[in-house]
């Protein structure tokens, strides 16, 4: 794909993922136009002041809940990365209809606007919490995934195609536990909800690079899942604050001990490649199943969970990630 000829839009463009996506795009891929679509004018102003002011960048104020505004923003756009979402689990639990309006209805609006504007590819970001969800955030992301994938049936003879990327916790993103642990370190005590807990982890840079690769490779209808390491939350606490006391406070409502990226039921239609899995839609007449020729099927009964992973981060591995994150935060503060 020749990115220099592409007109790209990212929803939620002022969020953690959006900012890193814009940074990588402008540094390495040089799209003809890159539109940052978000609802917060202050964050857009702060991005400009932080150096995101390239002539090919456009700042577009709008909400994914506003279909007409999306239609206007998508005019002349080739590729859309849909990253906008309400993702704070407690906030979604307390404000359920707000989560539904943004994560589900907003995703539906993205689909409609993309079809109306003739966007070629839409790739939406999802999460491991969408698999066997136990909280509203996960349920809304599951619904958004289903909306995006099945909307390929609406495209008909048009060129618009929809796919999703699904990965685990992003180190240092907004709402991540890492900033909380860094704050708690100053007081000498880290709070864990359960010391058995494990999580998938990926860096912002890795997440962005994976999304870009999937945009290039997608046919429409896939859910792409990267092979990423797991970590024990106790190891994360030790890496951030080795001298601190660790206090268990009990698992919170809507929280799992372990996260799942591919369920046992999904595994039956999933293809394994060297560094990722491709979840194919089941019995879809519009899908060609080309990925089956590039990878291998998963064994019966397989599921990809944070506690049965073959790749784990050690305490020293985690310390390196945290050191890199803190260095980036310190540089950004200057």
Q: Does residue 182 or residue 166 have the better pLDDT?
A: 166
Mean pLDDT of the chain: 93
Active site residues: 129
% the chain with pLDDT above 70: 97
Q: Is 19 or 328 the better-scoring residue by pLDDT?
A: 19
pTM reported for the whole predicted model: 0.94
Contact of 220 with 277, CB cutoff 8 Å: no
pLDDT of 84 strictly over 80:
yes
Provide the pLDDT for residue 177.
83
Tell me what the mean pLDDT of segment 142-157 comes to. Answer: 92
Instruction: Measure the CA–CA gap between 333 and 28, rounded to whole angstroms.
Output: 24
Structure tokens, 28: 């390495």
Kindly tell me if the per-residue pLDDT of 333 is higher than 80: no
Model confidence pLDDT, tens digit, residues 30-67: 999 999 999 999 999 999 999 999 999 999 999 999 99
Domain ranges of the chain: 3-167+203-226+260-305
Tell me the per-residue pLDDT of 229-277, one tens digit each, with 9 for 90 and over: 999 999 999 999 888 888 988 888 888 999 999 999 999 999 999 999 9
Report how far residue 38's alpha carbon sits from residue 65's, in angstroms, rounded to the nearest whole number.
11
Task: Please give the DSSP secondary-structure letter assigned to residue 314.
Answer: -
Does residue 158 carry a pLDDT above 90? no
Residue 331 has pLDDT above 70, yes or no: no
Q: What angle do CA 240, 244, 176 make, to 5 degrees?
A: 40
Note the CATH architecture for domain 3-167+203-226+260-305: 3-Layer(aba) Sandwich (3.40)
Cβ atoms of 201 and 169 within 8 Å: the answer is yes
Q: Which of 116-120, 131-135, 211-215, 253-257 has the lowest mean pLDDT?
A: 253-257
- CA distances to 77, 114, 143, 144, 320 from 72, in Å: 10, 10, 25, 22, 43
What percent of the chain has a predicted confidence (pLDDT) above 90? Answer: 78
pLDDT value at position 328?
A: 67
Sheet holding 169-170, edge to edge: 169-170, 198-202, 230-232
Q: What is the pLDDT of residue 325?
A: 77
Note the Cα 314 to chain centre separation in Å.
24
**Predicted pLDDT of residue 283:** 80
The whole-angstrom separation of Cα 2 and Cα 9 is 16
């Amino acid at each position: 794909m020749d990115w220099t000829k592409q007109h790209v839009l990212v929803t939620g463009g002022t969020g953690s993922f959006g900012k890193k996506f814009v940074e990588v795009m402008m540094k390495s891929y040089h799209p003809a136009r890159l539109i940052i679509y978000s609802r917060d004018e202050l964050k857009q102003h702060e991005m400009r002041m932080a150096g995101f002011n390239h002539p090919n960048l456009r700042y577009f104020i709008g909400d994914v809940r506003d279909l007409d505004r999306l239609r206007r923003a998508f005019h002349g756009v080739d590729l859309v990365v849909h990253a906008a979402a309400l993702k704070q689990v407690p906030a979604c639990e307390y404000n359920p209809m707000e989560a539904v309006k943004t994560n589900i209805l907003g995703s539906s609006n993205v689909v409609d606007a993309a079809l109306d504007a003739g966007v070629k590819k839409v790739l939406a970001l999802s999460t491991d919490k969408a698999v066997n969800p136990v909280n509203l955030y996960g349920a809304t992301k599951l619904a958004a995934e289903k909306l995006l994938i099945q909307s390929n049936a609406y495209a008909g003879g048009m060129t618009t195609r929809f796919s999703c990327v699904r990965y685990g916790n992003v180190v240092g993103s907004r709402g991540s536990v890492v900033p909380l642990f860094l704050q708690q370190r100053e007081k000498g005590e880290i709070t864990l909800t359960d010391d058995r807990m494990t999580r998938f982890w990926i860096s912002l840079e890795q997440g962005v690079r994976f999304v870009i690769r999937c945009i290039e490779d997608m046919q429409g209808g896939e859910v792409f899942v990267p092979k990423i390491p797991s970590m024990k939350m106790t190891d994360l606490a030790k890496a951030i604050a080795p001298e601190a006391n660790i206090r268990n406070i009990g698992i919170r409502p809507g929280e799992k001990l372990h996260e799942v990226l591919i369920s046992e039921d999904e595994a039956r239609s999933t293809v394994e490649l060297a560094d990722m899995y491709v979840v194919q839609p089941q019995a879809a007449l519009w899908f060609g199943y080309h990925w089956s020729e590039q990878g291998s099927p998963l064994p019966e009964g397989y599921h990809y969970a944070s506690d049965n992973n073959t790749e784990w981060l050690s305490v020293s591995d985690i310390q390196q990630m945290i050191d890199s994150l803190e260095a980036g935060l310190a540089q950004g503060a200057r």
